[in-house]
Chain A
Amino acid sequence: MSTLTLIAICATMLVTNFLSGLFGMAGGVILIGLLLVLLPVQQAMVLHGITQLASNIWRVVVWRAYIRWDIALVYSIGSLIALALWSITRYVPDKAVAFLMLGVTPFLTMVMPKDMRPDAESKPQAIGYGIGCTGLILLTGVAGPMLDTFFLGGKLERRQIMATKSVCQVLGHTVKLIYFAGIVVDPGTVDYLTAGLAILMAAIGTAAAKPVVEMLSDKTYRLWANRIVVSVSAYYTCYGVWLFAGPLFD
């Protein structure tokens, strides 16, 4: 990896984690998009997995008393089924597919019929979401928005939601690491220096956001959070379409 790429990765980590710390969301989605521009898919997925694992393991430790292990355990069955299914194909999405799916996913949760209410305490649904979210992670690198709809459709209190979602994210990103660093053809590798710097920059970015969070009013937060989700998703969708259509005009 060139020094220039390493500097770009560090800057990306810093900025996306600052945004994530500020808005409490979307960090992983923006990060994977930028990493996919800088690196090959396998390498981007591995580096993204390492940093997301670090932040989610931290959340698991902080909120460990609130984890609903019964839900996490059933969800993990779904995750393993997804890993087994994907391992048969050893499919690696090309960048066009990854960007298109990244762009479309947040809108999928918005168009879901209201009467199709998820229930985080339903075992069949936990397995279903385990398969679906882990499949999405293997396709796009992230499944946060989809996982949120699952956890919000139940009777869990807020700390249980954050804690149990973190465990599910640890599972998902571990599966992603195993898949892209070991199972696929031509697996991605990331050296220790890059991984260490990425985690360090992520921690600095998150910490730097803390004082700014207090200055955001409730209305400003809502306005910008919506703008970020919509504009990032729209950009990814357009970029994915452009990557698809590009070769047609060559």
Chain B
Amino acid sequence: MADAQSLDPLILDLVEWVAREPRPYLELIDAWRTSCPRLTVWEDAVERGFVQREGVSLPATMVHVTGAGRAFLVAHGRI
């Protein structure tokens, strides 16, 4: 599996995409889950606290950017 650091450019893309507007969880997974290579972009973004899920029932679950996510975008000149 790729280490989190090598995925930074892709994690930035994901956080930037969520920062534009909150996204439905299912839409996000559909757009960002990859195979061969399986890139753990979403998993890393959650683990590092850049995005978070809100809502319990799956179809209504939304993904929002966090303060740490915004700081990450600022630090890399994306905002």
- Pair B42/A218 contact, Cβ less than 8 Å: yes
Stretch at the interface among A30-38, A73-81, A158-166: A158-166
Given A153-B6, A221-B43, A25 and B1 touching (CB < 8 A)? Answer: yes
Given A152-B6, A152-B7, A225 and B38 touching (CB < 8 A)? Answer: yes
Closest residue of B by beta carbon distance from A169: B36
- Pair B10/A157 contact, Cβ less than 8 Å: yes
Chain B residues near A70 (CB-CB < 8 A): none
Interface residues in chain B, defined as those with a beta carbon under 8 Å from any beta carbon in chain A: 1-2, 5-7, 9-10, 13, 32-43, 46
Chain B residues near A21 (CB-CB < 8 A): 35
Distance in angstroms between the alpha carbons of A65 and B13 in the assembled complex: 19
Contact with B along A146-183 (1 / 0, CB 8 A): 00110111010111011001100000000000000000
Rank and list the top 4 A-B pairs by shortest CB-CB distance, nearest first. Answer: A24-B35, A24-B38, A148-B37, A152-B6
7 contacts between A and B (CB under 8 A): A144-B37, A152-B2, A152-B7, A152-B37, A161-B34, A218-B43, A222-B40
Distance in angstroms between the alpha carbons of A152 and B2 in the assembled complex: 8
Chain B residues near A162 (CB-CB < 8 A): 34-37
Given A218-B46, A221-B43, A24 and B36 touching (CB < 8 A)? Answer: yes
Distance in angstroms between the alpha carbons of A218 and B42 in the assembled complex: 9
Partner of A165, one of B7, B36, B41: B36
A24-B36, A25-B35, A155-B9 are known contacts; what are 5 more A-B pairs with Cβ within 8 Å?
Answer: A23-B38, A24-B37, A152-B7, A225-B1, A226-B1
Chain B residues near A23 (CB-CB < 8 A): 38
- Pair B10/A158 contact, Cβ less than 8 Å: yes
Chain B residues near A68 (CB-CB < 8 A): none
Chain B residues near A225 (CB-CB < 8 A): 1, 38
Closest residue of A by beta carbon distance from B46: A218
Does A64 make an interface contact (CB < 8 A)? no
Does A229 make an interface contact (CB < 8 A)? yes
Distance in angstroms between the alpha carbons of A27 and B35 in the assembled complex: 11
Chain A residues near B2 (CB-CB < 8 A): 148-149, 152
- Pair A157/B35 contact, Cβ less than 8 Å: no
Closest residue of B by beta carbon distance from A162: B34
Distance in angstroms between the alpha carbons of A103 and B19 in the assembled complex: 41
Closest residue of B by beta carbon distance from A222: B43
Closest residue of A by beta carbon distance from B8: A152
